[in-house]
Amino acid sequence: MAISLRLERELERTLDRCARSEGKSKSELIRSLISDFIAQQSKPTTPWELGKNLFGLYGSGKGNLSVDRKKILKEKLHAKKSGC
């Protein structure tokens, strides 16, 4: 099946450079990229993959959270109960 595709000039130049560097025609490169995209989309996404760009993004500045988690939680709950 033939498909017609219109690209901006700069995108077409980039596609041409990439195809030449891969030793493929533009059509071969596009087919390959579409196949890779479809294969990637059909893979199940894990919770880790969904959030991997967010994990570790924001730090608390505390290096003891994994060790002192129970103590910290107790302090927060106590502060919440006492209205602070």
Q: Which sequence spans correspond to the domains of the chain?
A: 9-53
- d(CA 19, CA 33) in angstroms, rounded, equals 11
pLDDT at 84: 57
**Residues in Cβ contact with 28 at an 8 Å cutoff, skipping those fewer than 6 apart:** 19
Which residue from 13, 36, 16 is spatially nearest to 24, judged by alpha carbons?
16
The whole-number average pLDDT for the span 28-39 is 95
Q: Would the pLDDT of 17 be above 90?
A: yes
Its pTM stands at 0.52
